[in-house]
Chains A and B, each alone.
Chain A
């Protein structure tokens, strides 16, 4: 049994509750026990670093300090935005002890920051600490027939010098996990384009535009569904999808799954435990493709071959 310190993030009790609960199902099968950080606080998300530098470091630092009190040396974070804030804080604090000392004056009761806990996104944890093969071994119900576009968003792999994970341009970790589950990952060029993120409420027009392009490209890649590992991406692509369709005058009907929902499904958990009714775009149509394999159509899908660091490839 492996142990992992877990930071769920605020949305795990709200908009992304299905991510949190299916993550726990998947980890149960993979024999990982989660240990919550006691009385964790919000990481500050986008707003803290937009408005002020000190708070943007202080809020994550309190969680890091609390995590250091637990025995585990790795902290897994479900939300991509929390992951980014926590990792940025960790990297900057470790690089600059002077800064760490200054910020630590704001974290009074919890203790001194040591820098002993590693920070990983759950996707990174699945890929690096568990591995694609052990995930494949646990599959009892293959997802063969389901075509998915794996969408990573901005925060899971960028900036490269902070995350040090996968490719900032064309990541493949989620694709490989989906393929291990039996699904087919399509060649999807908008893997790391931004969905509009925190503008969901304050600048909705931008989100409709950016998320609309992602849906369009996913549809064009031949995918039945999009797979994500970020709560904000999920809610922008799912909850805003009817508005996007209305604005563009098209019908996408692409459900947005969390990677953990598909993992739990392939590990044999019944659909009733996977919180599908929470989705705004119904999932049934896409899931009906599982088990249906059409050899002719199969040939037409372009498959991702390998990670390319397409640093010079800009349109």
Chain B
């Protein structure tokens, strides 16, 4: 549903522009971002279409698309954009707004990508640093995919490529406090 006409004001685009620091209106739909993007073939809507959808105020459709979850923030698109729009920042703004407003894309791929990031952040909260082996194990358990990458394990472990343990931070408490403070900031907005 296009909400532009009925409301007279595209509040969605305003929110994205403020959050990303970009001006989506500058996009003239040349599509250079799409041909540059290494993952556009996996996206529900490639970057060019997302830009137009923002202009049309299609809030739900943007939030529910998998595009912003697939964006790798490689910045190839913004480097080649003739309007110099920070497209990865726009993707990030949509993702953050969708998370804040509790929109959940429940497709398997997006669920897995999101789960990975959540586990990674838990590792940092707990140890202050990433614990690679545990992260991989937790990912397999929580996505119910126990044997994923297990074939890599013997070689990687034997060669010491992936260590068994992690040395936690001395000031692990400072990180836990940081998480709490950051959460508080999030709520203040």
Which residues of A does B touch, CB under 8 Å?
A: 10-11, 13-15, 17, 39, 41-42, 44-55, 58-59, 62, 102-103, 105-110, 154-155, 158-160, 168-169, 192-194, 196-199, 201-204, 206, 210, 235, 239, 277-280, 311, 314-315
Please indicate the chain A residues that have their CB under 8 angstroms from the CB of B155 in the complex: 280
Q: Beyond the given A14-B132, A55-B178, A201-B139, could you list 14 further A-B residue pairs with CB under 8 A, ordered by the A residue number?
A: A17-B163, A45-B130, A47-B120, A102-B185, A106-B178, A106-B182, A108-B174, A193-B76, A197-B72, A199-B72, A202-B115, A202-B117, A203-B113, A277-B159
B49 within 8 A of A: no
Please indicate the chain A residues that have their CB under 8 angstroms from the CB of B95 in the complex: 50
Task: Tell me the bound Cα distance from A155 to B35 in angstroms.
Answer: 19
Given contacts A42-B129, A158-B75, A314-B32, contact A110 B117 (CB under 8 A): no
Please indicate the chain B residues that have their CB under 8 angstroms from the CB of A48 in the complex: 121, 124
Whether A278 lies near B72 (C-beta < 8 A) is no
| Closest chain B CB from A225 CB (angstroms) | 18
Task: Tell me the bound Cα distance from A196 to B169 in angstroms.
Answer: 29
Main secondary structure of the interface of B (DSSP, over half): helix
From the candidates B123, B152, B167, name the one contacting A13 in the complex (CB within 8 A). Answer: B167
Please indicate the chain A residues that have their CB under 8 angstroms from the CB of B109 in the complex: 203
Task: Tell me the bound Cα distance from A131 to B34 in angstroms.
Answer: 37
* Residue contacts A-B, CB under 8 angstroms, 17 given: A41-B128, A42-B124, A47-B117, A48-B124, A54-B186, A55-B179, A55-B182, A105-B181, A159-B75, A159-B88, A168-B75, A193-B38, A194-B38, A196-B38, A201-B116, A203-B113, A277-B159
Task: Tell me the bound Cα distance from A232 to B86 in angstroms.
Answer: 24
Interface size on B, residues (CB 8 A): 63
From the candidates B118, B123, B149, B181, name the one contacting A51 in the complex (CB within 8 A). Answer: B118
Whether A201 lies near B39 (C-beta < 8 A) is no
| Closest chain B CB from A103 CB (angstroms) | 8
Which residue in chain B gives the minimum CB-CB distance to A18? Answer: B161
Whether B174 lies near A280 (C-beta < 8 A) is no
Whether B185 lies near A158 (C-beta < 8 A) is no
| Closest chain B CB from A87 CB (angstroms) | 12
| Closest chain A CB from B138 CB (angstroms) | 10
Given contacts A47-B121, A201-B149, contact A154 B156 (CB under 8 A): no
Whether B72 lies near A196 (C-beta < 8 A) is yes
Please indicate the chain A residues that have their CB under 8 angstroms from the CB of B70 in the complex: 203, 206
Whether A39 lies near B170 (C-beta < 8 A) is yes
Please indicate the chain B residues that have their CB under 8 angstroms from the CB of A315 in the complex: 35
Whether A17 lies near B160 (C-beta < 8 A) is yes
Which residue in chain A gives the minimum CB-CB distance to B159? Answer: A278
| Closest chain B CB from A272 CB (angstroms) | 15
Please indicate the chain A residues that have their CB under 8 angstroms from the CB of B64 in the complex: none
